[in-house]
Structure 1
Amino acid sequence: MSADQGGRESGASLRLGPQGGWVQVPDGRWKRSWFWMKRVWDLFRGDRSLIAIAALATVLNVLAAALLFGLAAALLGSGHDMRLTVGVGAALFSYPSTAVSTYCNVALLRMAQARFDGRHCSLGDGFRAANERLGAILGWSLVAVVVGFLLRQVAERIPLGGVVLSWIGGVAWSLATMFAVPVLAVEDVGPVEAGRRSLEIFRARWGEGLVGTIGVGAITALASIPGILALFAGIAVGGAGGIAIAVAGAALLAAAWTTSRAMEQLYALAIYRDQVAGEPSFGLGGEQLNDFMKLKRRRGR
């Protein structure tokens, strides 16, 4: 029996095409989590197309924020409270920002899906795949924005414990939906089904989900320190030199944030692939994927 056939039958090995052949996935939640973390980092840093699409999402969000906050300031005029301007700008920005991020992430994951399988996928192919899922992307973005709005209302309207409840709800929502974008990118489902499927996968792989979330967050925090220091140093120095230092700090922060967001999605895709298929063949329809999940649960995987 060949090594490839042994990997397929045992389910103990997964193929990451760009890395070549089959690779052994270690046992244990922590070891598996760091294994996938290193794999997706190697994939991301070695692929300019993935970096470009992640950077594009950041640039579009920055431009949208500047445009919509500027529009809010123009509509309200200079006589209004700055907090009101920020609030209106945030309300205007919320949905476009979420939709743009989700759209770019779906394109990113479709490209990464091809890379994992050892196939070529250009930027154009990634965006065409995202265009095909546009309705589901816009629907999911609306769901996410509505949930965020409801959580903010809880924080504002419930005295004392509202902020705590809102924070707990936000964390629970983030964890439960961490696989929603991979589901949207790979499966032909709508926004509600994507949320349900994400929760189903999280229940099965909550350990890896938590480790990945905490790991990416910790690494991002460390990577952000130089940018934060440079930003505050630039403000303290002032003048043309201070502006240059502050701009460099802001660029470092943007790079750290961009990498963090991309790593979160790529890591979720890796865990999704491992959970849903457990092998390098992903040409399954939605019904077949659900049947495969049920079979794996019966086997105790």
Structure 2
Amino acid sequence: MATSTKSNGFGFFSRLKTGWTLTKDSLSVIRDHPKLLVFPLLAGLSSIFFLVLFFLPMVIADVIGGGLEYIVLFGLYFVTTFFSTYFSAALVHASNEVFHGREPQIRESMTAINPHIGPIVVWSLISATVSILFRMLENSDTPVASIMRSIFAIGWSIMTFFIVPVLVFEDVTATSMFKRSGETFRDTWGETLGAGFGITAIVLGIGVILVISAVAISIPLLVLSAGLGVLLTIVLVALAMVFTYLISQTIWGIAKTALYVYATEGVAPSQFENFDFETLGGRTDRSATPGTK
């Protein structure tokens, strides 16, 4: 266990250091288990599929109006949230397998989530409803609506930050899932805030480097053939963005699982031995035991 580095401070460099440590340790998990990248890939592909599937119904609903657009949009939000949550839950399960010394398996991790389909459906319905409310507030031009949207967005983000680990490891009802997620956020609030800022900044930096590298690789071909050079640039930049997305989502899944495991078990995963979990903002004893799943 590392010595305390006061990473629960709210300074820029303190948050960046917190995020860097979590990112570095999460990347080491990805390096040892690259198959974890498959879960966010499946989540992204499912979202693209349903966006394409719902495109024409959304256009028709917008033309007809009368609230039909919100009904179609609700369906889109529901299915994309469901599949995104399903594959994210499988990533959390696989990460927990790694933390407890077991080799994660893609099919087994998804199979392990099947008993939790019910809570995931409930969560997807609630999330889709809230997303519609957000959209309605966005369509309102009043200052009060803007203020309400901002306040609600912050509260919603805090309440649901650990919703996926809770759905995976705990038997929860529609109301208790938010309570448990909020409790875990409270128990890890210092590192959660630091992780959010640091991981986002570092992954963004990785993405920028990859995009610049993609453009640099294309320059020689751009000189020889502008058309082929532009095509190569588009392909390489797209691949860089996709890879950045996969890395980002996988890091978040691994880091959230690590924070959750510590908050519930009081034991830091060995893969995060460089991270000082003792600086958490008040971990309390909890009854969940994710290691037994």
Do they fold alike, i.e. is TM over 0.5?
yes
Question: Partner amino acid for 1:292?
Answer: D
The 1:227–1:148 alpha-carbon spacing in structure 2 relative to 1, beyond 3 Å, is farther
Q: Deviations over 1:100-132 (max 9, x none)?
A: 110001111111111100013311110111111
Residue of structure 1 in register with 2:249 after alignment? 261
CA distance in 1, matches of 2:244, 2:79: 22
Contact 2:77 2:131 in 1 (8 A): no
1:70 Cα offset (Å): 4.2
Task: State the SS of the aligned residue for 1:198.
Answer: helix
1:280 Cα offset (Å): 7.1
Residue of structure 2 in register with 1:37 after alignment? 23
1:50 Cα offset (Å): 0.6
For structure 2, the residue ranges without an aligned partner over 5 or more in a row are 9-13, 270-283, 288-293
Residue of structure 1 in register with 2:131 after alignment? 148
Residue of structure 2 in register with 1:48 after alignment? 34
Contact 2:19 2:199 in 1 (8 A): no
CA distance in 2, matches of 1:227, 1:67: 31
Question: Partner amino acid for 2:55?
Answer: F
In the alignment of these two chains, the number of paired residues is: 255
Question: Partner amino acid for 1:55?
Answer: L
1:72 Cα offset (Å): 3.3
Give the alignment partner of residue 200 of structure 1, picking from 163, 171, 183.
183
Structure 2 residue 286 is matched with structure 1 residue 293: yes
Moved more, 193-202 or 57-66: 57-66
Residue of structure 2 in register with 1:4 after alignment? none
Task: State the SS of the aligned residue for 2:172.
Answer: coil
Residue of structure 2 in register with 1:127 after alignment? 110
Higher relative contact order (CA closer than 8 Å, sequence separation 6+): 2
Give the alignment partner of residue 162 of structure 1, picking from 138, 145, 168.
145
Alignment TM-score, normalising by the size of structure 1: 0.72
1:39 Cα offset (Å): 2.1
| Mapping of residues 1-301 of structure 1, within 5 Å | 24-27=1-4, 28=6, 29=8, 34-73=20-59, 75=60, 80=63, 91-157=74-140, 159-225=142-208, 239=227, 241-279=229-267, 292-293=285-286
CA distance in 2, matches of 1:133, 1:265: 17
The 1:268–1:134 alpha-carbon spacing in structure 2 relative to 1, beyond 3 Å, is same
Runs of 4+ in 1 over 3 A off after TM superposition: 30-37, 70-73, 84-92, 226-231, 236-241
Contact 2:26 2:254 in 1 (8 A): yes
CA distance in 2, matches of 1:105, 1:157: 32
Alignment TM-score, normalising by the size of structure 2: 0.74
Question: Partner amino acid for 1:261?
Answer: Q
Contact 1:151 1:166 in 2 (8 A): yes
Q: Deviations over 1:240-281 (max 9, x none)?
A: 542342232222212212221222222111111111111379
CA distance in 2, matches of 1:88, 1:145: 10
CA RMSD of aligned residues (A): 3.5
Contact 1:176 1:199 in 2 (8 A): yes
For structure 1, the residue ranges without an aligned partner over 5 or more in a row are 1-23, 282-290, 295-301
CA distance in 2, matches of 1:90, 1:127: 27
1:238 Cα offset (Å): 7.9
CA distance in 2, matches of 1:36, 1:266: 9
Moved more, 198-207 or 147-156: 147-156
CA distance in 2, matches of 1:89, 1:217: 32
Question: Partner amino acid for 1:176?
Answer: M
Contact 2:18 2:195 in 1 (8 A): no
1:47 Cα offset (Å): 0.9
Identity %: 24
Contact 2:188 2:263 in 1 (8 A): yes
CA distance in 1, matches of 2:31, 2:174: 30
Moved more, 262-271 or 99-108: 262-271
Question: Partner amino acid for 2:133?
Answer: L
1:192 Cα offset (Å): 2.5
1:214 Cα offset (Å): 0.9
Q: Deviations over 1:129-161 (max 9, x none)?
A: 111111111111222222222223223336024
The 1:87–1:142 alpha-carbon spacing in structure 2 relative to 1, beyond 3 Å, is closer
CA distance in 2, matches of 1:124, 1:143: 27
Residue of structure 2 in register with 1:17 after alignment? none
CA distance in 2, matches of 1:224, 1:161: 36
